[in-house]
Chain A
Amino acid sequence: MSTKEWPLWEVFIRSKQGLSHKHVGSLHAPDAEMAVSNARDLYTRRSEGISIWVVESSQVFANDPADSDPLFEPSQTKIYRHPTFYEVPDGIEHM
């Protein structure tokens, strides 16, 4: 009997037309077709979705957590990148 583990897949579900796919979790499957099938059973049981994407987890390239400071720290001091310095004219609601 083979003891080889099936690869891991990341699952993305779009909940309705017009919204984007969101990462909902991961699962094991022998190939892409079965990964979609398993995702349907695991993640759309309660009508959560109308579209499923799967990506083999090993295909996801992520940043090195050790680089977090150089990557993300600098933006914290750039408050002018947030549009918070405008005076909202009278009569404009729901901004």
Chain B
Amino acid sequence: MNSLYKYILRIADDSLILGQRLSELCGHGPIIEEDIALTNIALDLIGQATSLYEYAAIVGGEGKTADDIAFLRFEREYVNVLLVEQPNGDFGMTIARQWFFDSFRVLFYDAMLESTDQQLAAIAEKSLKETKYHWKHSSEWLVRLGDGTDESHDRVQTAINYLHRYVDELFFMDEVDTALITEGIAVDLASLKVAFDAKTSEVMEMATLSFPTNNWKQVGGRVGKHTEHLGHILSELQYMQRAYPNMEW
């Protein structure tokens, strides 16, 4: 497997798994307006994943289709960050997870516009517009929950405390990245860290929330070592393709 293929999968899997997570809320959102907003975001993410898997299918060159890659890998072959597979929890948890991810993704896609890989640059351009809206939506909510009632503040602070351990993994890099960074294809994630800290701190301050100190950092997703939650997501995501191989509709 070449580095570019692995690199595309990391981006695509993040989008697919978070999109799948959010789509669990379809029909279960706290109110109809938010239900539709979250489902829209889920669809945007799955759309981004589709473009990326289609490109991965070309780059992979093994005759696999985008659907094969999305639906027919085993758990250890998915390389999404642990953050996106965490359960929806209460609304505070859903929003905090989304907000961490969106804050990263806005900066990531913005940097990817400069990629020497034309296809990745084009996907970034389309996705950035969607992601900026996702970020605005999740940021607005974070501020309202954090600076809302005592209960909403406590709940979203609890979510931040829990999810914070998974945030560092968004900046995970290994040999897959290094070669591609030299070629100007991949984004040097270390270069986004300062902007990420500034971007998140500003919203946290408005939300009267604080980051936990001395938090344990959990990584593993990028190399296929997942929390117990991913298996459950995949059993639902892959059900149709596993039960009825090669089905289409």
Tell me the A residues contacting B by CB distance below 8 Å.
Answer: 1-2, 6, 27-31, 33-34, 37-38, 40-42, 45
Contacts and interface: CB of A to CB of B under 8 A. Distances in A.
Nearest to A41: B37
A37 B236 CA distance: 31
Nearest to B41: A41
Contact of A28 (B33, B40, B133): B33
A40 B37 CA distance: 9
Contacts of A31: 144
B144 A42 contact: no
B151 interface: yes
B234 to A, nearest CB: 28
B36 A37 contact: no
A2 B56 CA distance: 47
Interface of B: 31-34, 36-37, 40, 133, 136-137, 140, 144, 149, 151
A33 B33 contact: no
A27 B149 CA distance: 22
A34 B140 contact: yes
Contact of B137 (A27, A30, A37): A37
B40 A41 contact: yes
A45 B133 CA distance: 13
Contact of B33 (A1, A2, A38, A45): A38
Classify the interface of chain A: helix, strand, loop or mixed: mixed
Contacts of B31: 6, 28
Given A28-B31, A33-B140, A38 B37 contact: yes
26 contacts: A1-B151, A2-B149, A2-B151, A6-B31, A27-B33, A28-B31, A28-B32, A28-B33, A29-B33, A31-B144, A33-B140, A34-B140, A34-B144, A37-B37, A37-B137, A37-B140, A38-B33, A38-B34, A38-B36, A38-B37, A41-B33, A41-B37, A41-B40, A42-B33, A42-B36, A45-B40
B144 to A, nearest CB: 6
Contacts of A37: 37, 136-137, 140
Contacts of B151: 1-2
